[in-house]
Amino acid sequence: MSKKVLVCGAGGFIGGHLVEYLRKQGFGDIRAIDRKPFDEWYQIHDYAESDILDLQHRDACYQAMRDVDIVYNLAADMGGMGFIENNKALCMLSVLINTHLLEAAKDEGVGRFFYASSACVYNASKQDEVDNPGLAEADAYPAMPEDGYGWEKLFSERMCRHFREDFGIEARVARFHNVYGPHGTFEGGREKAPAAICRKVIDAKLSGSGEIEIWGDGEQTRSFMYIDDCTKGTHDILNSDILDPINLGSEEMVSINGLVDIVEDIAGVTLKRNYKLDAPKGVRGRNSDNTMIRELMGWEPSVSLREGMEKTYRWIYDQVADRYPGRGTVRAAVGSETLVS
Ligand code: NAD
Ligand code: GDC
């Protein structure tokens, strides 16, 4: 395939996986951009043309866009609840990235443009109960999104729409629901619940502390999408005729306590749970309604939470095990019988 693809945010979790997915789809000419130094990229693919640029700057966006046919914008200053609740201004500044990328895409005559939106655009009043029947695309309006991060996403979605209507940019938008998997953030403050719970359970297991901290009362609900479903869905939505923002998420809703149950079972431990009620909690209940994606694409994310969490747990285990000399020496230990003590 001769088309040149630009992946923005390629040093991050989803971007790093998307570059590899695109190569497997036959794209040989991929430009991978991130603002982080290379040693902080989760994955660097030697077949891609990787470069460091800060895409909040207009000139950088024009430089990145040179000779490009297809753009995936996954670059954003973001994280889990611990980050977005405490960094609302930083989250909103990501509007500069998508704005300048859209302008550059218009001027450079780009063929297709993908924007990664979020379930955080949905009206908060529809997420007050743990038993959420699923958020359908229309539930984003009237607007009452997550303060800061969600407003930026909703505005940028809207900007994609108007660049399409007014300038003919073939923009496509997916609303990702909490994505997890290997090669993602698992510590440092930006991690989301699946990776955070894996890391905490592994630390408790290897340190022998026997307890973990859980934010909130653990009854709050979410659905989590495995990274392989995310990369496939992203690529397919970009290539579709779906003009309005569409959910890309799992319908397998689980409470945070249920998520901890799964990780404890994978690890082969039972831990004392300490609930931190004043920690960042976000909405009470969230789930994806996949009616639209099933109808329009005949497909929906399908990797089970158990299967995806096993792979995620193994990868995080490998990252932290050497912090516990003598205890974490078995690669990707799963289940108590594999623990070396
Ligand atoms: P990530 O933080 O791992 O990756 C984002 C990358 O963007 C980072 O590597 C970061 O350095 C880069 N970046 C930030 N500002 C930049 C700039 N000015 N110029 C160049 N690069 C910049 O996050 P992710 O999980 O891979 O998310 C990718 C996209 O998907 C983001 O837009 C995010 O908001 C969206 N999203 C993710 C999730 C999720 O659960 N992971 C859910 C909903 C939406
Ligand atoms: O951070 P997150 O995964 O984001 O949190 C889910 C729930 O898990 C929250 O109620 C949080 O309080 C709880 N939780 C319990 N313990 C922990 O140790 C922990 N760490 C974390 N992080 N959470 C814990 C996300 C956004 C993303 C993205 C997706 C879209 O919101 O943070 O940026 O856009 O939504 O679906 P979450 O699901 O609220």
- Identify the nearest ligand to the CA of 189 by its number: 2
* Position 336 confidence tier, pLDDT thresholds 50, 70, 90: very low
d(C-alpha 216, C-alpha 199), whole Å = 17
Q: Give the CATH class of 182-223+253-286+304-323.
A: alpha beta
Q: How buried is 318 (Cβ within 10 angstroms: 0-12 exposed, 13-18 middle, 19+ buried)?
A: middle
Q: What does the CA dihedral 84, 219, 198, 287 come to, rounded to 10 degrees?
A: -60
Architecture of domain 5-179+225-248: 3-Layer(aba) Sandwich (3.40)
Residue 329 has pLDDT above 50, yes or no: no
Ligand 1, closest atom to CA 41? Answer: 9
Q: In what order do the strands lie in the sheet with 49-52?
A: 49-52, 29-34, 4-8, 70-73, 112-118, 171-176, 246-248
Mean pLDDT of 85-93: 98
pTM: 0.96
> Is residue 71 within 8 Å of residue 87, measured between CB atoms?
no
Establish whether residue 73 lines the binding site of ligand 1, counting it when its CB lies within 6 angstroms of any ligand atom. no
To 5 degrees, how large is the angle CA 56–CA 65–CA 163? Answer: 75
State the pLDDT at residue 328: 55
Q: What is the CA(178)–ligand 2 centre distance, in A?
A: 8
- Tell me if 80 CB under 6 Å of ligand 2: yes
Mean pLDDT for 32-49 is 98
Same fold, 5-179+225-248 and 182-223+253-286+304-323: no
Q: Is 324 one of the annotated active-site residues of the chain? A: no
Among the ranges given (55-64, 123-132, 332-341), the one the predictor scored with the smallest mean pLDDT: 332-341
Question: 135-147 pLDDT, tens per residue?
Answer: 999 999 999 999 9
Please give the pLDDT value at position 341: 28
Q: How confident is the model at residue 317 (pLDDT cuts 50, 70, 90)?
A: very high
The crossing angle, in degrees rounded to 10, of helices 58-65 and 95-108 is 40
pLDDT above 70 for 334? no
Question: E-strand spans in 88-192?
Answer: 112-118, 171-176, 179-180
Question: How many angstroms separate the alpha carbon of residue 75 from the centre of ligand 1?
Answer: 4
The 10s digit of each residue's pLDDT in 237-284 is 999 999 999 999 999 999 999 999 999 999 999 999 999 999 999 999
- What is the average pLDDT value for the chain, to the nearest integer? 95
Domain positions in the chain are 5-179+225-248, 182-223+253-286+304-323
Taking the centre of ligand 1 as the mean of its atom positions, its distance from the CA of residue 45, in whole angstroms, is 18
pLDDT 10s digits, 153-208: 999 999 999 999 999 999 999 999 999 999 999 999 999 999 999 999 999 999 99
Positive or negative, the Cα torsion across 202, 18, 10, 98? negative
